[in-house]
Amino acid sequence: MEIVFDNRCLVVRSSVLNALLVSDIHLGFHIELERLTRVAFPSEQASMLEQLQTMIRKYSVSALYVIGDFKHTITPDSSFNWETIPDFMKELSREVETTIIPGNHDGAIEALLPRKVKVADVRGLVIGDDQDSIGLVHGHAWPSAEVLRPSMIVVGHNHPSLNRIRAVSTRLNGRRNRRRSVGSMPVLLRSKLNKNCVRKSIGVPEDPVGVLMTLPSFNTLLSGIQVNRPDAKLQGPMFESGCTDLGSSEVYSTDGVFLGKVDALQVSVDETIK
């Protein structure tokens, strides 16, 4: 199986599968951002639709899977949702077969979707065949026993990112340099998943260790959880239960470059930023 990380998405190819995986689009987030900051932000749906269509055509994928939190408001009842989401999904479903695995922000999402768009169970689904299969689940809830069967599971939910640090010259307190935070960048996490731990938690028979891939948010307005901060904690039962170890997770940039393991990246920025 070939896996490509590009523009915050995963492209998965095998003899039976050619799919694009994307997570946490959070359509309409700019509205909440305006309310919180009292600063006007442009609507992001046109740009994200164009980017997804470009990815679909670039890799000639036949299926698109949105791994949760397609919309930002938890309930569907907003004028933005009704005016935007049906047309957005209509355009995408014209290009490829489209499926949504519901996240914690996707309450009653079915009411907003064209009939040809599929909605999976909140506990996820499996794509591919027996030898080249992948489990997909948003990550805010336990996966099903079937989703645990593949060796790899792809989730979203936490919007992983890195806190970017720059060294600046200073003469304060006798120090020549001090490090400053200059924002964050989205990253992909590749973690070891103790599937026996998960299976014990959901009451099913044990199985070997697998791989958990955590996608960043596709929405550029969302900065996410900075995993290289020493106090970083990821949400969702697979992380909160200890079934997945954040410290040993591998971190990759949005174009697939290995950046290091979380524990080593945390050590490199373990200094108070003032």
Q: 114-150 pLDDT, tens per residue?
A: 999 999 999 999 999 878 899 999 999 999 999 999 9
Nearest in space to 155 (alpha carbons), one of 44, 233, 80, 65: 65
Distance, CA of 239 to CA of 232 (rounded, Å): 12
| 173-231 residue pLDDT tens | 555 666 666 678 999 999 999 999 999 888 887 766 689 999 999 998 888 899 999 99
Provide the domain limits for residue 36. Answer: 2-164+183-268
N- to C-terminal Cα distance for the chain?
46
Distance, CA of 174 to CA of 180 (rounded, Å): 17
* 152 phi/psi in degrees, rounded to 5: -125, 135
Considering only 197-206, 240-249, 262-271, which range has the smallest mean pLDDT?
Answer: 262-271
| 155-185 residue pLDDT tens | 999 999 998 776 666 655 555 666 666 678 9
* Domain at 8, CATH number: 3.60.21
Residue 178 resides in a domain: no
Residue 176 resides in a domain: no
Instruction: Work out the percent of the chain whose per-residue pLDDT is above 70.
Output: 91
- Residue 142: strand, helix, or coil: coil
* Sheet of 152-155, strand order: 125-128, 133-136, 152-155, 210-214, 188-193, 250-252, 258-261
96 contact partners, CB below 8 Å, separation of at least 6: 20, 56, 61, 62, 63, 64
The b/e string for 204-221 (b: 16+ C-beta within 10 A; e otherwise) is: eeeeeebbbbbbbbbbee
* Sheet of 177-186, strand order: 177-186, 160-169, 225-226
More confident position, 180 or 46: 46
In the chain, what are the helix, strand and coil shares in percent, each to the nearest 5? 25, 30, 45
274: pLDDT confidence band, cut at 50, 70 and 90? very low
Distance, CA of 158 to CA of 156 (rounded, Å): 6
Residue 49 resides in a domain: yes
Residue 177 resides in a domain: no
* 108 phi/psi in degrees, rounded to 5: 55, 35
Residue 36 resides in a domain: yes
Mean pLDDT estimate for the chain: 89
Distance, CA of 184 to CA of 170 (rounded, Å): 23
Mean pLDDT of 31-42: 87
- Residue 52: strand, helix, or coil: helix
Residue 273 resides in a domain: no
- The number of domains in the chain is 1
